[in-house]
Amino acid sequence: MGRIVLDKVTKRFGDVEVIPPLDLTIEDGEFTVFVGPSGCGKSTLLRLVAGLEDVTGGQIQIDGSDVSSMPPAKRGLAMVFQSYALYPHMSVRKNIAFPLKMAGMKSAEIKRRVDNAASVLNLTDYLDRRPGQLSGGQRQRVAIGRAIVREPAAFLFDEPLSNLDAALRVGMRLEISELHERLKSTMIYVTHDQVEAMTMADKIVVLQAGVIEQVGSPLELYRTPRNTFVAGFIGSPKMNLIEGAAAASYQAHTIGIRPEHFDVSAEGGKWSGTVNVSEHLGSDTFLHVQGTGLADSITVRADGEVAFRHGDTIHLTPREEHIHRFDAKGLRVE
Amino acid sequence: MATQHSRSAARMMMAPAVILLLGWMLVPLCMTLYFSFKKYLPLRGGDLGWVGFDNYTRFVSSSSFWPSIYATLVIVGGVLAITVVFGILLAILLDQPMWGQGVVRMLVIAPFFVMPTVSSLVWKNMFMDPNYGLFAHLWRFFGAEPIQWMSQASLPSIIMIVSWQWLPFATLILLTAIQSLDSEQLEASEMDGAPIISRFWYIILPHLSRAITVVILIQTIFLLSIFAEIFVTTGGAFGTKTLSYLIFQRVLESQNVGLGSAGGVYAIILANIVAIFLMRIVGKNLDN
Amino acid sequence: MARAVSNRRRLINTLLAWSIGLLIFFPILWTVLTSFKPEGQAIADPPMFLFFDWTLENYFVVQERSNYMRYLMNSIIISGGSTLLGILIAVPAAWSMAFVPSKRTKDILMWMLSTKMLPAVGVLYPIYLLFIQLGLLDSRLGLVIVIMLINLPIIIWMLYTYFKEIPTAILEAARMDGASLRSEILYVLTPMAIPGIASTILLNIILAWNEAFWTLNLTAAKAGPLTAFIASYSSPEGLFFAKLSAASTMAIAPILILGWFSQKQLVRGLTFGAVK
């Protein structure tokens, strides 16, 4: 069980209000991702849930009971840190066993659980090594192993993949998703990488300056961003945000068109411009188009086989049903 | 950044250290201040009442005061000059590629671990003794009359002993600082064709300036209160009575506690002036 | 820094550095050599370097005449005791300042440092008086306390700089893993800080061993450590160079060896982290 409720939670450091009153409910078994640019308060929020920081006001409930003033050890949560935070002086076995030892478990039971976790995480051959002798991916697994042996009410992940190289990151992303499928426990995952958020989350919480901009499933955020911030943050490459006359013709202050929602043509279309850079990725081609009079540069995602080059004239036609409209405050207009 | 729990635990765990140091600082300090305003002669009548600033004026107007300031300045200044100059040279030398660097380092650093009473007595007797000391042998070998070190050249003798003790400290710290110098910077200047002297003057010395300041300040604080080196060699005779030693004599030898305490207050003020500069540097370092 | 250097230059460096090194080390070497000479040969003119009648006699005489063992025990108890006591008080304090810093942490550290700068002679009489009142004069306990107090700021500072290097996340991980404050310090922090704690201990034993103001002024025959033992040789009778040397060698040998092990930490400890 692990239903986590934040009720008007606030946090200030001295005079600085990092998190203004915030409400959020995380259902049992949900994989929730906190995403936002660095300094948006997502890690602070996670640390508040963990109990590593005190809330200044409001309440945090886990499964209905108020834990706001409980020390981290008593909240029944497990955390995986960005730096893994393994104990360098202990073997892998002792690292994984540490929370169980702290809980006063019998050594036979500890051994059973550690062996079990190690075989799940492919760590059996490394149990007697020190963290210093492991690769980044293996360390990450040890950190996860240390978290799962406790069978916690919820898992907290603080940017766990940011220290891994790109290839490993994709692999670990899958492993964590599989882990969630298997354990079905609540997980809160903090990242600044919207790709991780989109691929892993059941529910994404987009934060900016300590304020929740939008909460929803990945597709909801993609399809109906509530404001220009979420629109620009979710999706890659970024949504084109266009102001001025073109927007006014749609009765909006700003319109947003995702790169993948343009039809391109060499002959004719709604808008025209010049290709500045074209990036061929094989499956797709990203075209950076200038001189459209819409914005400095418009990013277009086209088919992998298109043959536009630097300096070519290109015509763009937006798919009307995918145009997002925003008012002067940046809020979505339906 | 922490929780209420850890903050209150932290306060609890800091308490013993803070309370002990606070007591260690305040109790004697207040007592010294208290005595400094009294005529207090434990062996000749005890507490003879308040005398205002009498002790303070008497301490500075006594015939031993200015000589003691002179001796202090000469010793501190002499030792600083020797240890800093030779420390820089030695540090640069030890930083060069050579065989057996580790062993040489151990040889150079060794005097720092010799207790002050030992180094003072070894130097005083086995080197500076006018009849049997090694220096006397050396002087006689060259046909010169041996020097009566402790009486004729008392201040230079003490400067020599103390410098020997503190040279390792200066060398070690300056060596550490030199080793943190980016070797690419030196190589670049070598490529630019800068001669050795200007490399030293424009690159090494500015890089060392902070370490030199630290060496000077820390040594000053320790040197202002050297005691054993004088206690076992001249006992304050032959113009080697420093301010600290003068206070020691006033307090324990002539048992004029009021007068000695006033001197102590002067010494505390003097040390604090140096300390402020040192703390500035240390404090700046804490910030980053 | 692997710079290409001609062997010729390396040789010159080596010769120069070794001669200066030996010159600086010479007084210690000379003391050790002299301690093995008969008194007559210790003052021979010209001086005898290696070809004298080696003897251990001086060591026995020193032990018999002045009960060296008692002074040695006092030195060990005073430096060991004060260091141990200091560490016990300093570890929690340094933990607090390194891992739960507040706005005042820096001020407290600086203030602690400033107590180290108080000239001893300025508070000599009050301490002397308190010692008489408390019956601590010429007692090991009294010296353990005083030496602990004068070195406490250094101990706290050194531990603080070592603790600062331990990532906070690891301690937070321990907290998340259900460790109490006690277990956190005992099972996670202390093992990780062992090298730092060890060098702190080492440096402080050295400083305590060589302390020569309070040990000279607050002790007499009973609790005097080796500093006081050597000071008793300042007014000797007759020929005594060899005996002085034997006594000196015995007083400095243990700490010289410890000192060589702690060279690196010395810089950090004595500059309060201002030079790294």
In a domain, B118, yes or no: yes
Q: Check whether residue A218 and residue A255 sit in a common domain.
A: no
Q: Check whether residue A224 and residue A252 sit in a common domain.
A: no
Interface residues of chain A, partner chain C, Cβ below 8 Å: 50-52, 71-74, 77-79, 81-83, 85-89, 98-99, 102-103, 146, 150, 156
Residue C90 pLDDT > 90: yes
Provide the b/e sequence for B217-248 (b: ≥16 CB within 10 Å): bbbbbbbbbbbbbbbbbbbbebebbbbbbbbb
**C125, B257 in Cβ contact below 8 A?**
yes
Q: Check whether residue C54 and residue C152 sit in a common domain.
A: no
Chain position carrying tokens 């008194």: C39
Measured CA to CA, the distance from residue A260 to residue B25 in angstroms comes to 73
Chains contacting chain C through 3 or more C-beta pairs under 8 A:
A, B
What is the number of domains present in chain C? 2
Structural domain that includes position B105: 52-287
In a domain, C205, yes or no: yes
Q: Is C169 on the interface with A (CB under 8 A)?
A: yes
Distant-in-sequence, close-in-space partners of A151: CB < 8 Å, separation ≥ 6: none
Q: Check whether residue C28 and residue C150 sit in a common domain.
A: no
In a domain, C242, yes or no: yes
| pLDDT at residue B83, rounded to an integer | 94
Element (H or E) spanning C11, and its range?
helix C7-35
Q: Check whether residue A94 and residue A141 sit in a common domain.
A: yes
Mean pLDDT, to the nearest integer, of A58-69?
90
In a domain, C238, yes or no: yes
| Mutation to test the B interface, candidates A54, A60, A69, A75, most B Cβ within 10 Å | A54
Q: What is the CATH number of the domain that holds B217?
A: 1.10.3720.10
Q: What percent of chain B has pLDDT over 70?
A: 98
Which one of A210, A231, A252 terminates a domain? A231
Question: Parallel, antiparallel, or unpaired: how do β-strands A254-257 and A262-265 relate?
Answer: unpaired
* Three-state DSSP class for residue C255: helix
| pLDDT at residue A6, rounded to an integer | 92
Q: What is the CATH number of the domain that holds A306?
A: 2.40.50.140
CB contact (8 A) between residue B109 and residue C263: yes
**A249, A293 in Cβ contact below 8 A?**
no
Q: Check whether residue A243 and residue A220 sit in a common domain.
A: no
Q: Is B33 on the interface with C (CB under 8 A)?
A: no
CB contact (8 A) between residue A85 and residue C175: no
**A252, A325 in Cβ contact below 8 A?**
yes
Write the pLDDT tens digit of every residue in B186-214.
Answer: 777 777 777 777 777 887 888 888 788 88
Q: What percent of chain C has pLDDT over 90?
A: 18
Q: Is C139 on the interface with A (CB under 8 A)?
A: no
Q: Using CB atoms within 10 A of its CB, is residue A187 exposed (0-12), middle (13-18) or buried (19+)?
A: buried
Rounded to the nearest angstrom, the minimum Cα separation between A330 and chain C is 38
Residue A157 pLDDT > 90: yes
Q: Is B142 on the interface with C (CB under 8 A)?
A: no
Q: Check whether residue C35 and residue C80 sit in a common domain.
A: no
Q: What is the mean pLDDT of chain A?
A: 90
Query: For residue A14, what is the nearest residue in chain B, using CA coordinates?
Result: B1
Cα A259 → chain centroid? 21
CB contact (8 A) between residue A98 and residue C176: no
Q: Check whether residue A59 and residue A142 sit in a common domain.
A: yes
Q: Check whether residue C20 and residue C143 sit in a common domain.
A: no
Measured CA to CA, the distance from residue C33 to residue B161 in angstroms comes to 20
* Of residues A181, C50, C118, C94, the one with CA closest to residue B269: C118
Q: Check whether residue A33 and residue A83 sit in a common domain.
A: yes
In a domain, C275, yes or no: no
- Angstrom distances, CA of residue C223 to CA of A62, B176, C226, C228, C255: 62, 38, 10, 9, 19
The alpha-carbon radius of gyration of chain B (Å, integer) is 24
Task: Tell me the β-bridge partners of A254.
Answer: A243, A326
Residue C44 pLDDT > 50: yes
> Which residues in chain B have their CB less than 8 angstroms from residue A51's CB?
3
Q: Check whether residue A185 and residue A290 sit in a common domain.
A: no
Structural domain that includes position A244: 238-333
CA atoms within 13 A on the CB side of A268: 0
Q: Is B9 on the interface with A (CB under 8 A)?
A: no
CB contact (8 A) between residue C177 and residue A73: yes
Write the pLDDT tens digit of every residue in A67-117.
Answer: 988 888 888 899 999 988 999 989 999 999 999 998 889 999 999 999 999
Q: Check whether residue A158 and residue A304 sit in a common domain.
A: no
* Three-state DSSP class for residue A209: coil
In a domain, C166, yes or no: yes
Which one of C28, C43, C59 terminates a domain? C59
Q: Check whether residue A148 and residue A278 sit in a common domain.
A: no
Rounded to the nearest angstrom, the minimum Cα separation between B75 and chain A is 49
Q: Is B137 on the interface with C (CB under 8 A)?
A: yes
Residue C2 pLDDT > 50: no
Measured CA to CA, the distance from residue A100 to residue A121 in angstroms comes to 18
- The number of residues making up chain C comes to 276
Q: Is C178 on the interface with A (CB under 8 A)?
A: yes
Measured CA to CA, the distance from residue B187 to residue A23 in angstroms comes to 59
Q: Is A53 on the interface with B (CB under 8 A)?
A: yes
Q: What does the H/E/C string look like for chain B?
A: CCCHHHHHHHHHHHHHHHHHHHHHHHHHHHHHHHHHCEEEECCCCEEEEECCCHHHHHHHHCCCHHHHHHHHHHHHHHHHHHHHHHHHHHHHHHHCCCCCHHHHHHHHHHHHHCCHHHHHHHHHHHHCCCCCCHHHHHHHHCCCCCCCHHHHCHHHHHHHHHHHHHHHHHHHHHHHHHHCCCHHHHHHHHHCCCCHHHHHHHHHHHHHHHHHHHHHHHHHHHHHCCCHHHHCCCCCCCCCCCHHHHHHHHHHHCCCHHHHHHHHHHHHHHHHHHHHHHHHHHHHHHHC
Q: Is C104 on the interface with A (CB under 8 A)?
A: no
Provide the b/e sequence for A104-118 (b: ≥16 CB within 10 Å): ebeeeebeebbeebb
Which one of A231, A256, A283 terminates a domain? A231
Mean pLDDT, to the nearest integer, of C107-134?
85
In a domain, B38, yes or no: no
Cβ count within 10 A of residue C51 = 7
Angle subtended at Cα A197 by Cα A191 and Cα A199, rounded to the nearest 5 degrees: 140
* Three-state DSSP class for residue A77: strand
Q: Which residue has the higher pLDDT, A45 or C263?
A: A45
**What residue type is assigned to position B39 of the chain?**
K
Q: Check whether residue A187 and residue A285 sit in a common domain.
A: no
**B285, B213 in Cβ contact below 8 A?**
no
Element (H or E) spanning A75, and its range?
none
Write the pLDDT tens digit of every residue in A105-156.
Answer: 999 999 999 999 999 888 999 999 999 899 888 999 999 999 999 889 899 9
- Give start and end residues of each alpha helix (H) in A59-126: 92-102, 107-120
In a domain, B86, yes or no: yes
Most confident of A13-22, B101-110, B148-157, C141-150: C141-150
CB contact (8 A) between residue C252 and residue B112: no
Query: For residue C175, what is the nearest residue in chain B, using CA coordinates?
Result: B6
Q: Which residue has the higher pLDDT, A334 or A52?
A: A52
Residue B182 pLDDT > 90: no
In a domain, B34, yes or no: no
Write the pLDDT tens digit of every residue in B129-147.
Answer: 877 788 888 888 888 788 8
- Angstrom distances, CA of residue B28 to CA of A70, C123, C133: 44, 6, 14
Element (H or E) spanning A5, and its range?
strand A4-13
Q: Check whether residue C120 and residue C164 sit in a common domain.
A: yes
What is the number of domains present in chain A? 2
CB contact (8 A) between residue C241 and residue B126: yes
Q: Check whether residue A55 and residue A194 sit in a common domain.
A: yes
* Of residues B168, B82, B219, the one with CA closest to residue C21: B168
**What residue type is assigned to position C83 of the chain?**
T
Structural domain that includes position C93: 63-270
Q: Is C20 on the interface with A (CB under 8 A)?
A: no
Q: Check whether residue C144 and residue C170 sit in a common domain.
A: yes
Q: Check whether residue A33 and residue A137 sit in a common domain.
A: yes
Q: What is the mean pLDDT of chain C?
A: 84
| pLDDT at residue C1, rounded to an integer | 43
CA atoms within 13 A on the CB side of B212: 17
Which one of A190, A214, A231 terminates a domain? A231
Residue C239 pLDDT > 60: no
In a domain, B61, yes or no: yes
Which ipTM was obtained for this model?
0.83
Most confident of A201-205, B114-118, C43-47, C131-135: A201-205
> Which residues in chain C have their CB less than 8 angstroms from residue A52's CB?
172, 175-176
Q: Is B5 on the interface with A (CB under 8 A)?
A: yes
State whether the Cα torsion A185-A69-A46-B8 is positive or negative.
Answer: negative
Q: Is C186 on the interface with B (CB under 8 A)?
A: no
Residue A265 pLDDT > 80: yes
Q: Using CB atoms within 10 A of its CB, is residue A326 exposed (0-12), middle (13-18) or buried (19+)?
A: buried
The alpha-carbon radius of gyration of chain A (Å, integer) is 24
Cβ count within 10 A of residue C258 = 17
In a domain, C90, yes or no: yes
Rounded to the nearest angstrom, the minimum Cα separation between A55 and chain B is 9
Residue B96 pLDDT > 90: no
Binned at pLDDT 50, 70 and 90, residue B1 comes out as very low
* Three-state DSSP class for residue A60: strand
**B120, B204 in Cβ contact below 8 A?**
no
DSSP summary character for residue A266: S
User: Which among C100, C122, C241 has the least Cβ separation from residue B2?
Assistant: C100
Measured CA to CA, the distance from residue A112 to residue A96 in angstroms comes to 12
Measured CA to CA, the distance from residue C131 to residue C125 in angstroms comes to 10
Binned at pLDDT 50, 70 and 90, residue C164 comes out as confident
Write the pLDDT tens digit of every residue in A208-223.
Answer: 988 999 999 999 999 9
CB contact (8 A) between residue B180 and residue C234: no
DSSP summary character for residue A187: E
CB contact (8 A) between residue B3 and residue A52: yes
Mean pLDDT, to the nearest integer, of A49-77?
89
Query: For residue B42, what is the nearest residue in chain C, using CA coordinates?
Result: C129
Q: Check whether residue C45 and residue C166 sit in a common domain.
A: no
Mean pLDDT, to the nearest integer, of B77-96?
91
In a domain, C217, yes or no: yes
User: Which among C30, C230, C260 has the least Cβ separation from residue B115?
Assistant: C230
Measured CA to CA, the distance from residue A218 to residue A201 in angstroms comes to 7
Q: Check whether residue C93 and residue C122 sit in a common domain.
A: yes
**What residue type is assigned to position B261 of the chain?**
S
| pLDDT at residue A114, rounded to an integer | 94
What is the number of domains present in chain B? 1
CB contact (8 A) between residue A83 and residue C169: yes
